[in-house]
Structure 1
Amino acid sequence: MRIRFLFILALALTGASIAAPRAHAQAIGYSATVPVNDTSDAQRDHAFSVALGQVLTRTAGASITTASGYTDALGTASGLVQDYRYTRSASGASQPFVLQVQFDPAAVQQLAASLQKQIAAANATSGPATVGGAMAGSVGAANMSRQNVTVWVAPMQSGLDLPQLLSVLRANAQVASVEPVGADGDGVLLRLHARSAMSDVLPSLQAGGHLQLDPATHPGADLSLRWLR
């Protein structure tokens, strides 16, 4: 009887040891970390959106950012959060805190599937040809094939936006350099030097959740982007 009990116990422990890593791996797949300036509600909600953008891209690929409902989906991030916690950033970091966010895997999968259906529906209507996830008809294929472009980014709503925008762009491995060359109202004009064609660079810029292609044109700019923070 004792031998049978020990055998059953061994099986239970073996099953637990297998299930635990799987659960841990799933948790990692639906979590993300975002540097933040403080622990305010505004910074937290923004970080949730950025984190959700990272998780959606990891779940469904960079093309997910081209879905018509992508920006609205990021606005629902707080409702998908299972858990979050703050930690202190390493010494010398530009932002003092890091927010680690864990999302509900089932909810993220459902959202990703919905966005993928939007993309499939848009492709089925045979709209303008796409180049690197951007609408060639609104941006211009010639601009998307270039490495050196002038980019209009808006809206800039505080003094912190421009430094954060430049930090995001300079952290991208496909961006060689970027510098402000002008400002007008709530937007800024940037000269961006990429390491490859913009058709390849744009999806990686959008995947971070901070930037999205804006079909509206701006005088003097080769393409326009919306700053989502």
Structure 2
Amino acid sequence: MRLACLSFLLCLAGFLAAPGVCARQAAVGASPYSVVVPVADTSDGQRDGAIGTALAQVLARLAGGQDLRTRPGYAEALKGASGLVQQYQYQRSGNALALQVVFDPDAVRRTLEQLGVGAVAAKPPVLAVVYGADGQPLGAEALQPLAQALSARGSTLLTADPAALPDPARLAAADPAALAAVGERYHTGLILIGHLKGARAEWTLVSGGQPQQWSSQAASQTALLAEAGNALADHLGSRLNVIGSAPSNVTLWVEGLDSALDYAGFLAMLRANPAVRQIATTTASEQGMLFSLQTSVPAPGFVAGITLGGRLIQAQDHAGADAGLRWLH
């Protein structure tokens, strides 16, 4: 049936993959060029320091999680952050004072180009499913140290709906059905599962269907959560830290494209990715389809990036492909 319908499916792809037809809508969020940073007062020194911190967060967001701190020119870019500001204003909540900074998009994009960062898709948020020492799930307020650590490194945190918590064991085992449900509801393939046990914690990060486990120790729950945020950011930075100065040819084997809508949805996702320059469907069989792409980043970084959105996970390697992937339903 699949092979018999393949030519029909390919003919329909251009129509079905048009914007808005079958592409799943991403969650609407705040502008990636806007950041709120705490400050001690309204002095020039505090303001300039906060603007530099804000620019570091914006650059990390737009670089898709790449660690830019070692790039030539990065320190100089932060020193000149005030010149990239479109507007700023102070915000007060109780005794806390913060500075909201909005950067000029064109100026930020030019800065990224000067740092040698190729076009990449925006990094999705991290879904946190974390349990305290009492076995109860932690809410958004309790997870603030984790959220703040991630925000400082250009990532955002989501907390799972307490009324419909996903099974942490299935998530930690990278069960495809559980990951598909999370991707459908939260639009992310980045999931952090944590179990706090006094001064210790056990963590599992699921990224693109690949679980990574580690443990940590700290003097307090606040320190455990902050450490987890930094460890997660380091992991993503190491996977996504790529240089895209020249086009790369990337070949992908994708399983699970069982219908015209699946196929068109996958093409729509590729076409929405700013790192993708050309797409060609090479071969197809009952087991999967082979795609040849030209991208602005090398294959490892590109594959790591596209599996963060909750629709794809890494699968077994396939002959003739840089990576094997599975489309989730």
TM-score range, shorter chain: 0.3 to 0.5
- Structure number having the greater helix percentage: 1
TM-score of the aligned structures, taking structure 1 as reference length: 0.44
TM-score of the aligned structures, taking structure 2 as reference length: 0.32
